A and B are shown apart, each in its own frame.
Chain A
Amino acid sequence: MRRREGALIPLEVAVLAAGLGLRGAGEPEFHGFSLAKAIRDGDRARRLTAHGTLYKALDRMERMGLLESRWEAPEIAAAQRRPRRRLYRVTGQGERALDEARETAMARSIERGMA
């Protein structure tokens, strides 16, 4: 999908919305799979986002400053007998970008309704 300058693509909007939704539910940091599930639940989709699509988007969004990530301490993962998680969180810039994307989408739908 070709990106308009400064605009978010639908997956990025979904990632930010799901990330903020998880934050609202008391999970300020989230890992890839919890995000995939939140996106699926938010979109009422049947399928989880594909690995490549999801992690490529997360990588790109982190470089854009919309997300931040850190690896959790290995001791925590070892204590819970699971691989360590990469934890993401939505940045202030990410929140603003989502607000702008929603405003733009709303303005466009109003324009379409008036046309």
Chain B
Amino acid sequence: MIETVVSMELPVDEHLRVQKNRIMPSCVTGNEKRISVVTGTHGDELEGQFVCYELLRRIQAQPECLKGIVDVYPALNPLGIDSITRGIPMFDLDMNRIFPGTEEGPMMETFVKYLTDDLLGSDLCIDIHASNIFLMEIPQVRINELTADTLVPYAKKLNVDFVWVHASATVLESTLAYSLNVKDTPTLVVEMGVGMRITKEYGNQLVDGILNVMREMGIWTGETTEVKKPIVSSDRAVGYLNASVPGIFVPKVQIGDIVEEGDVLGEILSPLHGEVAETVKAPIAGLVFTRREYPVVYEGSLLGRILGGKEE
């Protein structure tokens, strides 16, 4: 059933509204568990669109296997998605930096408050992101170290390649995931693919994982596939590649490749001079889990990330 979660009037003949699709078993006992799948906080991250579609399609194909409540929110930032805008059009702050929201704040903060209220109480929430237009990510779950004990067991069932447990930062306390986790609604942040594109292979991989988690939670009794055993990184080195010079980056490795320290990962070209301005080499050996897709770089632009071995 399509429900409007929150709606507010825009200046000219339109409402800003967030809709969700709630699907439930035909016979409800009142004790069903609830999983929420949310995406589209950043309007340029579209990988979650295919996941929402495919998840609903598979569940609706076998309605008898559904034993709990599934809420799918495909577009938390509909104005952004519909206008190819990462943030909220006409609003300065990143939507994922104003959670949990407040009725005392500007319109968007009030809007976010109602969204948060609707999500609270889910037995599990999965917040799907797609990096940005610059970077491609292998399917991964990112977890704040403060919530690792609760969330890593869920993340391991989600069929991702990698679970990154990262340090806590005050500024991240205003994300959707943090705001729900502190209010006892376990929320996993998935990063995969690249902005403005759909990577169908990753989408199917994640849907397999979501159905697997649903099965473990007693929400789904349909067939599931065997899931990947992810690398869980809480003590592994992460090597960052940042551009030292401006220019046009052309990669020489694929995402997911295993590289050795010193391997050439790409080049930054100067088209004006017809020269290679920088040869980018791997700072450590390991798995390339992030790779730059957008060619134009400045000094500091992130070109990739490598997951290394255990830190000594």
Is B truly associated with A?
no
Q: Which residues of A contact B (CB under 8 A)?
A: none
What residues make up the interface of B, taking CB atoms closer than 8 Å to A?
Answer: none
